[in-house]
Structure 1
Amino acid sequence: MKHIFITILVILILAGLGWAGFWAWKNLRGAGPAIKPSPGDISESINNTDFPLKLPPGFSISIFAKDLLAPRVMTYDSSGNILVSIPSQGKIVALPDKNGDGKADENVTVISGLNRPHGMSLKCVGLAEGCKLFIAESHQVISYDYDAENLKALKPEKIADLPDDGNHFTRTLLFMPYPEDRRLLISVGSSCNVCEERDWRRAKILVQDEKGLNIFARGLRNAVFMAIHPVSGKIWATEMGRDLLGDDLPPDEINIIEEGKNYGWPICYGKNIHDTNFDKKTYIRNPCEEPFETPSHIDIPAHSAPLGLAFFPEEGWPEDYWHNLLVAYHGSWNRSVPTGYKIVRYKLDEKGNYLGEEDFISGWLTSQGALGRPVDILIQPGGIIYISDDKAGVIYKVIYGGNKSDLIQVQSPKPNEIVTSPLLISGEARGFWFFEASFPVSLYDANGKLLARGPAQADGEWMTENFVPFKLGLKFPAPETDTGFLVLEKDNPSGLPENADEIRIPVRFR
């Protein structure tokens, strides 16, 4: 009898191991790029070319900050410095660029000792009161007095308690647009892959306002990042779909979040598809149809793990980029063939309607593994983008117009140089960049406000394909922002878009 029991036990153990092995093979065989060390240090190989990452023509990429371990959410402080959260180290770091060379001078700890801090939002309510830095830890939201001069967060005040058990520890913050700009949105993911939650705060976007902490929108499994549409003012959010339904289901999502709406999880996904794998109930009506559930706005390939999203403003960007959306695909861990590990551009009209999509930056995923995993995105007026990478431990800086050195070369000012009035602009450009020996140059502040405009004059014979020196002096009033950008346009008397071109130089005023 004892031998029979041992035999049965061995069979059960072997069967269990066999089932576990099959489950792991089915669901985890593509996890290598996400969990294995990077095959190389991207900060040592990347420079102002498009290698090893691939970008559209006219864009260049460089390393703004490195040695950050695992940076996640970024925001600007009141002086224009980038703040970034590092949950794994329990701290917030500031990245000042005091000398204006386009790279962070140092990594300054703003505050440490936190419980997996993730989301941040800076709220400046007036000079008398100063600025408040709101930080979302896994279990709470705290506001601090922000000392911009010394880069420190002081005098903590608790804003809200949050659940701290189960999966999905990241919490993201976003203040709503005016006139509701005192309402703070807090995204809290689910505690599980798919389940009925016991805590009312889970799988929601919450709102903290004068009424306290309440539900803003529900049915959101893990809406890790949010952004405000520049025209409609509506809240957009990325959402990660559930796991263990195979390689291609369910889709990840981009949702337009409206107060009081239900976005389906755990029983619905995508375009209101019923998850019958989880929900075995019998219904008189389709439980996933409108107006009871809200479908996704855009479906994203399953397991792409969309995180940061940011809209292109009109100021300082080509018209065909206006109101478009960039989304960071962090990359899959449970798909047999890995997907994601890139930045995707969604082409939208001014109302947010989908027109198409294309890869914007790719190359992180290689045959040897993942060089990095993009997380958050900041897009500035004037042709500058910042991207955090929590695998490579870096912040990238992307510049539009940074690789046209064969057409025009600006000797002064240098990118991110501090400039004063009168500003002397000099360099050389191919003869076809001119018309009647000149081309237009404009100076803008960071909000896209025109400060000065004038013609750069050729210093020599311009009717040639060779480089011709040019120079220009611009007088401008005191800017309202700390930074701005210089636009040197190819003279285009035809007015035809195919003949237009320009280069943009980021500058600092103080």
Structure 2
Amino acid sequence: MMRRVLIPTLLAMPLAATLLAQTLPAQTSTPKTGQSAFEDALEQKPGNRIHITVADLPTPHEDESVDNGPSLSPRDGAVPSVPAGYKVELYSEGEWQNPRLARTAPNGDIFVADSKAGKIYVLRGVGPDGKAQQKEVFASVEQFDNEKGKTLPFGINFYPAVNPKWVYVANTINVVKFPYKAGDLHSSGPAEIVVKELPGFAQLRGGGHWTRDVVFSKDGTRMFVSVGSRSNVDDTDNNPGEFHRADVLEYKPDGTFVKVYAYGIRNCVGEAINPISGDLWCSTNERDRLGNHLVPDYITHVQEGGFYGWPFYYMGGAKGGVQDPRHIGKHPELQSKVITPDVLVQPHMASLEMLFYPANEKGASAFPASIDGDIFAAEHGSWNRKNRAGYEVVHAFVHDGKATGEYEDFVTGFVTPDGKVWGRPVGVTVGKDGALYVVEDGANTIWRVTYTGNRQTASK
């Protein structure tokens, strides 16, 4: 049986940059497992299902470690690929330096952190050409730090969730908030410091992983801030620069520190709250230099008090965790505490922002009804792997509130058939219209993915 899927083209496209469907053989509906699950970027196609388990993980091969990062190529009119029944349009381009995380305000405005520019932008509306109708600077780094270039805004959130009065921004070194009311395109007052110094402030004002995300618990009483590690696998016992890093930290919304909520999470770049269960989730970059197929990045719910292995162990051992060969014999008491994440994705592909679809219990659902409650995550792309992986948006399946461990390639085509990379997905958000907005920082573009079929009759 044949089905229609969307494929990329390198030809110049109209302003709307709408990708037209072409007839191709159906993609696999049976998940790839075992060694075939470790696909590379040239094998990725919308609809390909993947299920990596701990049983598939090889032994460490440090000799496999390579530096194979992409050399970015011009987009030259290329557009992403999306599954049959979907349409992708270019929503925003130009005047971006490094667009990253995106979040949608309750009124439907899309806030985007342009990290290297030190700015928070607001995008509003969809014009006849598919582009944003307005783009305004909500706030800039000069408003909350006097050392531009060392404070990189990333995490954005709205508080309280209903009729928010504040926009919170998590930066490399601190968390600030701006006064806000629905519809504001520019901050209506100066930033107030919420958390004065995040871990890493004293060590070269950050160092290592620089992204910081911020989300609030479903009841609004807790604020979770993710702080990535300063290193790949430094021994935290001997490196004070790793203090309270590779952690998710819990604060009160007023900035009062409460505790380390979870630890051993090397770099929880993207946080999300499951809108039904209220669980905190993370999209995580795991460690490098253990081989092409180690260690998988992951998407997981985060257990309060949970230990996720870094740097001494990683998921998958019969006793709870596999010892990292660079830390043999250290902390045997932690081995049984290592938690295996819910969804293992390709190793080294740099899983960044994630979300639940729709974004909240009353959010607009325009995709197939079968997708409601599932996860989308941006995969920035690998560097420490012989055959590159990532450069896509994945769709992870959730059943009865629990991830199945399986995911599918959803938005691909950021890599040309000859292996050149033009796009690197970094952010995902759901608009008030139910569309999926995808931010990438290779060509510095934002794409809008919509569904054109009958959402009630479509199936997984």
The separation in 1 between residues aligned to 2:245 and 2:333, in whole angstroms, is 24
Contact 2:64 2:290 in 1 (8 A): no
SS in 2 for 1:261: coil
Counterpart for residue 88 of structure 1: 116
Q: Does 1:275 align with 2:303?
A: no
1:254–1:297 Cα contact (<8 Å) kept? yes
Taking a change above 3 Å as real, the CA distance of residues 125 and 242 of structure 1, as seen in their structure-2 partners, is: closer
Correspondent of 2:179 among 145, 158, 180: 145
Higher mean displacement: 151-160 or 93-102: 93-102
1:378 match: 429
Provide the secondary structure at the position in 2 that maps to 1:196.
Answer: coil
Match of 2:167 in 1: 133
Shift of 1:98: 7.4
Rounded to whole Å, the distance in 2 between the matches of 1:213 and 1:501 is 45
Equivalent of 2:226 in 187, 212, 215: 187
**Aligned: 1:172 with 2:223:** no
Deviation for aligned residue 1:142? 0.6
Question: Among residues 73, 79, 83, which one is paired with 1:38 in the alignment?
Answer: 73
**Aligned pairs for 1:191-206 within 5 A:** 191-197=230-236, 198=240, 199-206=242-249
Shift of 1:275: 3.0
Shift of 1:356: 2.9
Corresponding residue of 2:88? 61
In the alignment, residue 256 of structure 1 is paired with which amino acid?
H
Distance in 1 between residues matched to 2:124 and 2:72, nearest whole Å: 29
**Aligned pair partner of 1:394 in 445, 451, 456:** 445
Matched, 1:350 2:400: yes
Structure 1 residues not aligned, in runs of 5+: 1-22, 47-51, 405-488, 491-496, 503-510
Equivalent in the alignment of 1:111: 139
2:276 counterpart of 1:231:
yes
SS of residue matched to 2:327: coil
Q: What's the counterpart of residue 386 of structure 2?
A: 336
**Paired residue for 1:305?**
350
CA distance in 1, matches of 2:325, 2:442: 33
- Checking the alignment, whether the CA contact within 8 Å between 1:78 and 1:131 is kept in structure 2 is no
Give me the whole-angstrom Cα distance separating, in 1, the residues matched to 2:450 and 2:412: 16
**1:122 lines up with 2:155 in the alignment:** no
Match of 2:267 in 1: 222
Residues 145/63 of structure 1: CA separation in 2 closer, same or farther (3 Å cut): same
State the identity as a percent: 28
Matching residue of 1:5: none
Indicate the SS of the match to 1:320.
helix
Structure 1 pair 337/70, CA: closer, same or farther in 2 (3 Å)?
A: same
Matched with 1:260 is: 305
CA distance in 2, matches of 1:294, 1:98: 43
Q: Which has the larger radius of gyration?
A: 1
In structure 2, distance between residues paired with 1:40 and 1:353: 34
Q: Give the count of matched residue pairs.
A: 367
Deviation at 1:26, TM superposition (A): 4.8
Deviation at 1:99, TM superposition (A): 5.5
Q: What is the CA–CA distance in structure 2 between the aligned matches of 1:377 and 1:56, rounded to whole Å?
A: 17
Alpha-carbon RMSD:
2.7
Kindly provide the CA deviation profile for residues 464-502 of structure 1, in whole angstroms up to 9, marking residues without a partner as x.
Answer: xxxxxxxxxxxxxxxxxxxxxxxxx69xxxxxx8xx479
Contact 1:328–1:376, Cα closer than 8 Å, also in 2: yes
CA-CA distance at 1:64 after TM superposition: 1.0
Give yes or no for contact 2:102–2:428 (8 Å, CA) kept in 1: yes
Question: Which structure has greater strand proportion?
Answer: 1
Q: CA deviation at 1:267?
A: 0.8
Structure 2 unpaired stretches of 5+: 1-61, 143-150
Q: Aligned equivalents of 1:253 and 1:95: distance in 2?
A: 30
Q: TM-score, normalised by structure 1?
A: 0.67
Cα distance 1:156–1:300, how it changes in 2: closer, same or farther (>3 A)? same
Is the Cα–Cα contact under 8 Å of residues 143 and 157 in structure 1 kept in the other structure?
yes
Offset at residue 294 of structure 1 (A): 1.9
Query: C-alpha displacement at 1:392, in angstroms?
Result: 1.4
Ranges of 4+ aligned residues in structure 1 off by more than 6 Å: none
Native 8 Å contact 2:348 2:389 kept in 1: yes
The code of the aligned residue for 2:233 comes to V
- In the alignment, the residues of structure 2 paired with residue 188 and residue 312 of structure 1 have an alpha-carbon distance, to the nearest angstrom, of 25
Q: Residues of 2 paired with 1:270 and 1:282: CA distance?
A: 16
Contact 2:64 2:291 in 1 (8 A): no
Equivalent-residue separation in structure 2 for 1:151 and 1:286 (angstroms): 51
